[in-house]
């Protein structure tokens, strides 16, 4: 439990007048997504049970962690997936959980026991594009709907041993989905479109095309009157629903995917993928209400606890932080002075030389760093696109591994930054970079004036 407090001034605009409303934000708790391999991994997805007793987190590390929010402890670890987990969702009673993974499987779990009730293939055996991006219970909870990288939407009964049925096919990867407020349609992100699938006719009833880029996430407001979506180019879109009349569309973050979320009162929209910050947008004024740096790496996802009202913010650094939100001040204790660090916020104050360029076919890569020569006290940091992903590390003979995620067709840079000069300048480090199929071993060097770097690019086949 942490006691870090901060308060934010939000400006709300009404017609031509400006009124100041104080929104106080109190960091309440912090947890780590540490899986059974003993490592802290990126959180891609999180979900609360309807009664807010359980919180499920998943992503890298292949495990699903079930947290008891009453005790604020890890209750159990669900093991069954072999690759990255993209989505988890509880049923309406909270006794079952469904998960979708890049390993090509959708798994139905019994939450209290951790038992696997059903394991379903998203694509036929041998299919290269098998990963499942999402899974949802249908409104009756008799079926699971799921889809992903095989361009297909499947339906499978929750009970029994029936095989999944393909009910919809598209020309694009299915990225995300949500039931419409009236439960009549399933809104699906398909490339640059949001298609509204009718499970009765098994056809697209209508569609929205926000822009010319991929739709990464979509969600409906709690009152059912609005639909929001995030596009790959960093745009946030909002429509009236069911009229589908546009409300606004604006740049909200960096290029790449982000999850989005309505606040419990539907007055705000939360988005990520803006450096290491999350943003809160005022829907009425269509203005940015808050931008808060919360993590050491990109903010990946968020969820509201509908009982406590707390906002949970998950990061690519594996940290999960919860915040109390209020329009009244919290009791703010005096804070001790913080220690300064020698780690720079950016590497632009040095000459950077590109040592190599590597093109990968997978978006997730692992970087290993070690000293393949004599240990002489070199201390370095690694910067990924000016974001510190390994801080002031004393290079050892043993390999240190970190995981990075590359946006599609967007050049990235991994820079070695020296904090000292060891006994034998310049500081050098051996790096092995792999996506599981393509691997390159490269040696980088850095002194106090210049740094070497690797250019990285993800290009899907």
- For each of the domains in the chain, give its residue range(s) and CATH number, in order of start: 5-326 (2.130.10.10), 351-458 (2.60.40)
At residue 8 the predicted structure's pLDDT band, cuts being 50, 70 and 90, is very low
Determine the pLDDT at residue 329. Answer: 57
| 373 or 96, higher pLDDT | 96
Q: Which among 111, 132, 139 is positioned nearest to 48, based on CA atoms?
A: 111
Determine the pLDDT at residue 274. Answer: 84
DSSP β-bridge partners for residue 445 = 428
- In this prediction, residues 40-50 reach a mean pLDDT of 97
Lowest mean pLDDT among 113-117, 126-130, 216-220, 302-306: 126-130
Determine the pLDDT at residue 290. Answer: 80
Determine the pLDDT at residue 424. Answer: 81
- In this prediction, residues 14-23 reach a mean pLDDT of 37
Instruction: Give the CA distances from residue 352 to residues 345, 347, 452, in Å, rounded to whole numbers and listed in that order.
Output: 15, 8, 6
Determine the pLDDT at residue 364. Answer: 85
Q: Which among 318, 461, 329 is positioned nearest to 25, based on CA atoms?
A: 329
Residue range 263-300, pLDDT digits in tens: 999 999 999 988 888 898 989 988 888 878 888 899 98
| 237 or 399, higher pLDDT | 237
Determine the pLDDT at residue 361. Answer: 87
C-alpha to C-alpha distance for 104 and 246, rounded to whole angstroms: 36
Vertex 400: Cα angle to 397 and 402 (nearest 5): 160
- In this prediction, residues 375-384 reach a mean pLDDT of 89
Determine the pLDDT at residue 331. Answer: 56
Residue range 194-206, pLDDT digits in tens: 999 999 999 999 9
Residue 24 has pLDDT above 70, yes or no: no
Lowest mean pLDDT among 167-171, 182-186, 237-241, 435-439: 435-439
Residue 12 has pLDDT above 60, yes or no: no
**What 3-state class would DSSP assign to 197?**
strand
At residue 326 the predicted structure's pLDDT band, cuts being 50, 70 and 90, is low
The size of the chain, in residues, is 461
| 173 or 398, higher pLDDT | 173
| Region for residue 435 given its phi and psi (left: phi exceeds 0; alpha: psi -120 to 50; beta: otherwise) | alpha
Determine the pLDDT at residue 3. Answer: 42
Q: Is the distance from CB of 8 to CB of 25 less than 8 angstroms?
A: yes
């Amino acid at each position: 439990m942490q006691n870090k407090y901060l308060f934010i001034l939000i400006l709300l605009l009404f017609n031509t007048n400006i009124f100041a409303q104080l929104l106080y934000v109190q960091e309440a708790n912090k947890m780590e997504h540490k899986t059974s391999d003993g490592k802290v991994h990126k959180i891609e997805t999180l979900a609360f049970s309807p009664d807010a007793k359980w919180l499920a987190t998943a992503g890298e590390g292949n495990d699903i962690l079930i947290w008891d929010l009453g005790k604020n402890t890890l209750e159990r670890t669900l093991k069954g997936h072999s690759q990255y987990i993209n989505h988890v969702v509880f049923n309406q009673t909270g006794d079952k959980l469904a998960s979708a993974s890049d390993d090509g499987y959708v798994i139905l779990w019994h939450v209290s026991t951790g038992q696997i009730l059903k394991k379903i293939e998203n694509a036929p055996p041998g299919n290269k594009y098998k990963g499942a991006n999402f899974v949802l219970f249908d409104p009756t909870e008799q079926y699971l709907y799921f889809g992903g990288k095989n361009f297909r939407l499947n339906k499978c009964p929750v009970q029994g041993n029936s095989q999944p049925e393909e009910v919809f096919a598209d020309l694009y990867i299915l990225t995300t989905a949500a039931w419409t407020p009236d439960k009549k349609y399933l809104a699906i992100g398909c490339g640059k479109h949001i298609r509204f699938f009718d499970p009765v006719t098994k056809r697209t009833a209508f569609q929205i095309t926000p822009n010319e880029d991929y739709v990464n996430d979509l969600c409906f407001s709690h009152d059912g009157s609005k639909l929001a979506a995030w596009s790959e180019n960093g745009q946030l879109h909002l429509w009236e629903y069911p009229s589908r009349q546009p409300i606004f569309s604006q740049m909200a973050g960096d290029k790449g995917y982000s999850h989005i979320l309505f606040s419990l009162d539907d007055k705000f929209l939360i988005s990520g993928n803006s450096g290491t910050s999350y943003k809160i947008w005022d829907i009425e004024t269509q203005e940015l209400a808050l931008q808060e740096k919360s993590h050491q790496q990109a903010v990946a996802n968020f969820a509201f606890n509908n009982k406590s009202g707390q906002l949970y913010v998950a990061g690519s650094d594996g940290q999960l932080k919860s915040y109390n939100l209020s329009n009244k001040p919290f009791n703010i204790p005096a804070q001790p002075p913080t220690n300064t660090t020698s780690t720079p916020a950016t590497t632009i104050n040095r000459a950077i030389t590109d040592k190599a360029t590597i093109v990968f076919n997978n978006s997730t890569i692992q970087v290993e760093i070690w000293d393949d020569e004599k240990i002489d006290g070199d201390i370095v940091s690694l910067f990924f696109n000016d974001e510190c992903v390994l801080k002031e590390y004393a290079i050892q003979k043993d390999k240190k591994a970190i995981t990075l995620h590359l946006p599609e067709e967007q050049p990235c840079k991994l820079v070695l930054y020296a904090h000292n000069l060891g006994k034998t300048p310049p500081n050098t480090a051996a790096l092995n970079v792999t996506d599981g199929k393509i691997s390159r071993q490269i040696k980088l060097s850095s002194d106090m004036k210049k740094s070497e770097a690797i250019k990285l690019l993800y290009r899907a086949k």
